[in-house]
């Protein structure tokens, strides 16, 4: 389907590529993955004299088109998906945690089904920095193995994902381990001051406010990303106890960053409601307003002096901007990412020691240079490697 442009345009060729992932659901992490992939394909394509025209499979095509300026079709309408694949030069599957069954038994059949359909149409499939697993239903191994063996390029975001594919029967020499694509996401182009980036916070009750008072804005800014996980809410209660202890030990400004609305905003409100009495502590707590654009959320994270992250992409955003962080693990993918930058979780959804947390956070606020000395090199290497899948895909697309 690739076609050259008109004569006199430096022989730039065009390739249509369908992009499949968890897109259109307003999840900041997954939207950041999409935006990072689109950026990387555009920039690497321009270097190689190739113009990539993406077609995104989205649950909300109109929103995706408005947000990114790309063509989009509904991911759950078979005719639209089939038409997009037929008119394309290939399929990108990823990134994100697509091939896992922790969120239900339909996820893996859906994503492998899209991949297999592309392969039946003789379209090359490129697996872009996916996180594989957990896979608890062994019968799904053959679905994953089948599409991976037939893919033109396979990249995963950690060694554990590569090892899992290996146990399923995918040859190790077909798998490239690369960073999460969001490590390569840039900040918005316009310069923003700290006060400007933090404008429009929401109070604990959810109403938009006029922005922090000058005294609050001068406090150390601690970003907080929480998500619902345990049905009894015990994990969030432990987070509230730890943050409350921090806020009473030193004046800080806690800024909750909902990565998936409305669920994360509701979890944030729950934690704020359990912080306890902060009167007289000098500390404050607030929830950031709706941030659909991943780069705006990245900007928010960049303003933090330190961050507590439960969402994987909150931690990846912090690494992207070299913001000192503490991670709270609810899934092996948290541990795997932290390990890549020489960190361990401060706790889990089953256990979080408030005293240990306070000591760890105060250390980040008091001695950020020590944190940077220990972790910035590993972060820089990940940022440099984040574009490798795009480079590989562009090279393969040029051969079509």
User: What pLDDT score does 257 carry?
Assistant: 98
CA 85 – CA 193 distance, rounded (Å): 43
Q: Which of 79, 285, 38 is nearest to 185 (CA)?
A: 38
With 0-12 CB in 10 A as exposed, 13-18 as middle and 19+ as buried, what is 290? middle
* pLDDT number for residue 312: 96
> What is the reported pLDDT for 203?
38
Per-residue model confidence (pLDDT) at position 89: 98
Side-chain-side CA neighbours of residue 101 (13 Å): 14
CA distances from 238 to 245, 255, 262, 353, 357 (A): 11, 17, 21, 8, 11
Q: Kind of pairing, strands 306-309 and 284-287? A: unpaired
Average pLDDT by stretches of 10, the chain with 400 residues: 49 93 94 97 96 98 97 98 98 95 95 98 98 96 98 97 97 97 88 40 38 70 98 98 98 97 96 94 94 93 98 97 98 95 97 98 98 97 96 96
- In the prediction, which pLDDT does 116 show? 98
| Residue given tokens 């562009």 in the structure block | 394
206's tokens: 């959810």
Residue with tokens 């404008």: 199
Question: Which DSSP string corresponds to 150-191?
Answer: T-SEEEESSHHHHHHHHHHT--GGGEEE---GGGGPPPPSS-
Q: What is the distance between the alpha carbons of residues 130 and 182, in angstroms, rounded to a whole number?
A: 12
State how far the alpha carbon of 22 is from the alpha carbons of 5, 110, 215, 279, 288, in Å: 32, 11, 40, 42, 23
Adjacent-strand bridge partners of 309: 225, 327
The β-bridge relationship of strands 253-256 and 153-156 is unpaired
Helices in the chain by DSSP H: which ranges? 28-47, 61-68, 78-86, 107-120, 141-149, 159-168, 194-197, 214-217, 234-249, 263-273, 294-302, 312-320, 332-340, 354-366, 368-385, 388-398
Q: Which residues pair with 20 in a beta bridge?
A: 57, 93
Bridge partners of 15, per DSSP, are 52
């Amino acid at each position: 389907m690739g076609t050259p442009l008109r004569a006199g345009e430096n022989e730039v060729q065009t390739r249509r590529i369908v992009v499949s992932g968890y897109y259109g659901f307003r999840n900041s992490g997954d939207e950041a993955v999409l935006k990072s992939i689109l950026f990387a394909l555009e920039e690497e394509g321009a270097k190689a004299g190739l113009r990539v025209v993406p077609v995104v499979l989205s649950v909300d095509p109109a929103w995706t088109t408005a947000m990114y300026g790309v063509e989009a079709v509904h991911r759950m309408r078979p005719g639209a998906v089939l038409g997009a694949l037929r008119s394309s030069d290939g399929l990108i599957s990823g990134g994100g945690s697509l091939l896992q069954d922790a969120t239900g038994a339909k996820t893996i059949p859906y994503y492998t089904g899209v991949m297999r359909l592309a392969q039946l149409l003789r379209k090359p499939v490129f697996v872009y920095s996916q996180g594989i697993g957990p896979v608890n239903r062994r019968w799904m191994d053959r679905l994953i193995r089948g599409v991976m063996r037939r893919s033109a390029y396979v990249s995963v975001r950690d060694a554990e994902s590569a090892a899992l594919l290996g146990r399923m029967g995918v040859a190790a020499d077909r798998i490239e381990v690369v960073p999460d694509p969001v490590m390569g996401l840039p900040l918005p182009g316009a310069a923003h001051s700290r006060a400007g980036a933090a404008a429009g916070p929401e109070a604990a009750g959810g109403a938009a406010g006029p922005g922090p008072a000058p005294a609050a804005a001068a406090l150390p800014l601690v970003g907080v990303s929480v998500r619902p996980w345990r049905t009894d809410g015990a994990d969030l209660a432990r987070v509230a106890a730890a943050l409350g202890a921090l806020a009473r030990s030193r004046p800080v400004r806690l800024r909750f960053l909902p990565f998936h609305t409305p669920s994360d905003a509701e979890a944030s409100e729950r934690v704020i409601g359990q912080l306890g009495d902060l009167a007289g502590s000098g500390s404050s707590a607030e929830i950031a307003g709706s941030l659909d654009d991943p780069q705006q959320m990245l900007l928010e994270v960049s303003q933090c002096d330190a961050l507590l992250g439960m969402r994987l992409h909150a931690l990846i955003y912090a690494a992207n901007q070299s913001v000192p962080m503490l991670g709270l693990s609810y899934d092996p993918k948290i541990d795997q990412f932290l390990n890549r930058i020489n960190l361990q979780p401060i706790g889990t959804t089953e256990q979080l020691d408030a005293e240990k947390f306070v000591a760890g956070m105060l250390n980040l606020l008091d001695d950020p240079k020590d944190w940077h000395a220990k972790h910035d090199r590993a972060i820089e290497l990940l940022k440099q490697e984040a574009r490798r899948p795009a480079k590989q895909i562009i090279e393969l697309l040029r051969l079509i």
